[in-house]
Each structure stands twice: as structure tokens, then as C-alpha cells.
Structure 1
């Protein structure tokens, strides 16, 4: 959407999407991811509002945000420009940094990461 040559930002209230104050499940994170992804595919900016979220864990954030870094259509620069967060509790800010950093590392070396995990679990052939 544009208005007077300015692109508007889609405002998503996480509490309303997941219908909870607890952002703790991968399933709910996947729901948020699908919504974010649908806007980003249309080159629309998205603002995630975490007001009212009392508990948040990395499993939720990995599914909701971390997966975006696995989409080759989205560069880090694109995501920095198109994705904003607000009303994040001070103690939860570090979770975002950790999730984003791990996602970048994982998706940069996905094949190697999966092989290392499989080797650790099943042994080296």
C-alpha cells in the first residue's frame, strides 16, 4: 500500500494473532510466520507489536522470525528494512538477537549444519 509515495506499514498485534499472552509454541510461531511472509512477498513493510506478551521463548521466535532468514528472496538488508518490532520487553530483546544470529548462521551453512547434526545422532558413515 502506498499513500503520497510513502509505503505504509502493516501493524500486526502478536497477542491478537496467537490469541494468548504466551508466545511459546512453534505452531503459533508458524502462524505468525505465514502472515509476515504473505506481506513480505508483496514487498510490504511489517511491524510486529508484542504488547501484552508476557512470556516469549526462542521456539516461537525461531518459527515466526528465524525462518524468514531461510528464504533466499529475503536478504538481511531487506528484512532490516521491511520488518520492525515494538513493545518488546527489555529482557526479551536478547532473544531476538540470538534467534536472528543463529538463523543467519544456520541458513548460511544449512547443509553442513544438517550433516553435523545427523553425524552426531547417527554416526559418521
Structure 2
């Protein structure tokens, strides 16, 4: 199973920009399209913002359902505080894209 090491992609420990999030999204999207498992590893990341997460994770819900994401995307080395942000972002994305479709 492949790993996407966020620190190496964004060249630092601050996962804060939408542009960096879009780069991560594009990489994760390739794996989900092929229904291949991938680890998204946050080792070395000290700050994560909702702007980054909306771009990296949130927009996945525009293309894929939770059932299409959960078995294939594995998160590693996420701080407990950041897990709360992940939940908020994914819940908002699910609601937003569900409303857009109806």
C-alpha cells in the first residue's frame, strides 16, 4: 500500500493553504479512482487548517460517497485535536454536496 506523506508534498509542517490541499486532493483522487488503498500520513505536520482540509479531503465528497472513500483512504499520524477538524470538514462536505445534488 502506498503512502502520501503530507510533509514531503507541501515541503513543511504547516498544512494551511488551499493550494497545498488541492495538491493532496489530486494525489488521493488518483487512488480512489482506481479503488486502491492509500495512507495519508501527517507525520511532522504541526498545524492543519480547515482551508487545507476542505481542499484535500472535503472535495473528495463531490466525486465519491463515504462508502467509496472509507475503505481506501487511511489517515495516519493525525493529532487528536486535528481529528475534530477532520470530522467537521467531512460532515460539512457531506451536507454541502448532498444539498447540491438535490
Q: What interval of TM-score do these two structures reach, taking the shorter chain for normalisation?
A: over 0.9
Q: What corresponds to 1:98 in structure 2?
A: 88
Displacement after TM superposition at 1:48 (Å): 0.5
3-state SS of paired residue (1:53): coil
**Whole-angstrom CA distance in 2 between matches of 1:67 and 1:28:** 13
Q: What corresponds to 2:56 in structure 1?
A: 64
Question: How many matched pairs?
Answer: 102
Structure with the larger RCO, 1 or 2 (CA within 8 Å, 6+ apart): 2
**Whole-angstrom CA distance in 1 between matches of 2:80 and 2:66:** 23
Structure 1 segments, 4+ long, off by >6 Å, are: none
Matched, 1:31 2:17: no
Q: What corresponds to 2:71 in structure 1?
A: 81
Displacement after TM superposition at 1:10 (Å): 1.7
Flag structure 2 segments of 5+ consecutive residues without an equivalent: none
Task: Compare CA radii of gyration and give the structure with the larger one.
Answer: 1
Matches within 5 A, 1:44-59: 44-59=36-51
**Whole-angstrom CA distance in 2 between matches of 1:13 and 1:27:** 16
Flag structure 1 segments of 5+ consecutive residues without an equivalent: 1-8, 113-125
Q: Could you say what the CA RMSD is over the residues aligned between the two structures, in angstroms?
A: 1.2
